Amino acid sequence: MTPNWPVVELAGVSKTYGAVAALADAELVVERGELLGIVGPSGSGKSTLLNIMGTLARPTAGTVRIDGHAVAELSDRELSALRAQSIGFVFQSFHLAPGVPALDSVADGLLYSGRSRGERRGLAERALRRVGLGHRLHNEPHQLSGGEKQRVAIARAVLGDPPLLLADEPTGALDSKSGAVVMELLHELHRAGTTVVVITHDRDIAASLPREVRLKDGRVEHDSATGTYATRTTATATATATGDRVRRGVGV
Ligand SMILES: Nc1ncnc2c1ncn2[C@@H]1O[C@H](COP(=O)(O)OP(=O)(O)OP(=O)(O)O)[C@@H](O)[C@H]1O
Ligand SMILES: [Mg+2]
């Protein structure tokens, strides 16, 4: 049975680094099965937001719930388990170890899952076939194109079928054609039920996504799901604008 609480719930989340407010009172609810884009100028807090959603960083203030769990109440061990079971990550720079064939790169994601080596490799092969790389199982990163490397990274991220996939500029290092293949893959995963959050600088990509959240100076400046400003202080003002899905350009 699918639980009915949101996959992600951020309330009044702030993150400061010394004098820098990377995030200031950010509010965001992501429902199960959504596909949303996070856009905004460089330094606006997009990666910080994604890292907090992924429990890779803890907020300075505010509450974070992932898949119904209040992150602040979890021990490091429980947090690692939540991350392993519920969240897949994809980064602009692929994060693939040099010299390691694709099959092993993906299978290693299950090292601590208690599964046998054979099982891990079987599941990895299936995941690589799912991203269209059945013919590149034994290629090392330097024998793969950028787009293929990103597809290996996506196969690894979705291996355990996490309900939430977080992608930080997954097409940022790719040419537009490889980028389109990677985006199509994210759409496919979304259609299969995964909740996908993707940071992008690309206006066309942002325009192709059902929901767009725009950050500016660490705040949620615009959320197409609620129509306009989505910070807590102005939340009531959004009610009248619900349904307004007019796109006003993407801040880059
Ligand atoms: N670990 C850190 N230590 C100090 N400051 C940081 C750290 N991480 C982020 N910041 C600062 O927080 C702000 C937001 O950074 P963040 O990486 O979230 O921006 P971004 O929107 O992802 O930018 P980009 O589009 O360039 O990736 C920036 O001013 C950045 O310099
Ligand atoms: Mg970033």
Mutate which of 15, 20, 203, 215 for ligand 1? The one with the most ligand atoms within 8 Å of its CB, which is 20
Q: Is the CB of 19 under 6 A from ligand 1?
A: no
* Residue ranges of domains in the chain: 8-241
Q: How far apart are CA 80 and CA 90, in angstroms?
A: 17
Pick the ligand that lies closest to the CA of residue 57: 1
Q: How far apart are CA 251 and CA 4, in angstroms?
A: 32
Q: How far apart are CA 116 and CA 101, in angstroms?
A: 19
78 C-alpha to ligand 1 centroid (Å): 27
Specify the pLDDT at position 1: 58
Residue nearest ligand 1's atom 2 by CA:
17
Identity at 80, one-letter amino acid code: S
Count Cβ atoms within 10 A of the Cβ of residue 135 and give its class: 0-12 exposed, 13-18 middle, 19 or more buried: exposed
Specify the pLDDT at position 229: 55
Mutate which of 15, 38, 44 for ligand 1? The one with the most ligand atoms within 8 Å of its CB, which is 44
57 C-alpha to ligand 2 centroid (Å): 14
Give the domain 8-241 fold. Answer: Rossmann fold (3.40.50)
SS3 90: strand
Q: Are 37 and 212 in contact (CB under 8 A)?
A: yes
Provide the Cα torsion 89, 198, 128, 189; round to 10°: 120
What is the strand order of the sheet 61-66 is part of? 20-30, 8-17, 61-66, 69-70
Residue nearest ligand 1's atom 26 by CA:
42
Q: Quick one: residue 94, left, alpha or beta (phi over 0 = left, psi -120 to 50 = alpha)?
A: left
pLDDT tens-place values along the chain, 252 residues long: 567 899 999 999 999 999 999 999 999 999 999 999 999 999 999 999 999 999 999 999 999 999 999 999 999 999 998 998 899 999 999 999 999 999 999 999 888 788 999 999 999 999 999 999 999 999 999 999 999 999 999 999 999 889 999 999 999 999 999 999 999 999 999 999 999 999 998 888 998 999 999 999 999 999 998 875 544 444 433 333 333 333 333 332
Q: Are 30 and 66 in contact (CB under 8 A)?
A: no
The CA-based angle 238-242-248, given to 5 degrees, is 85
Q: How far apart are CA 220 and CA 214, in angstroms?
A: 6
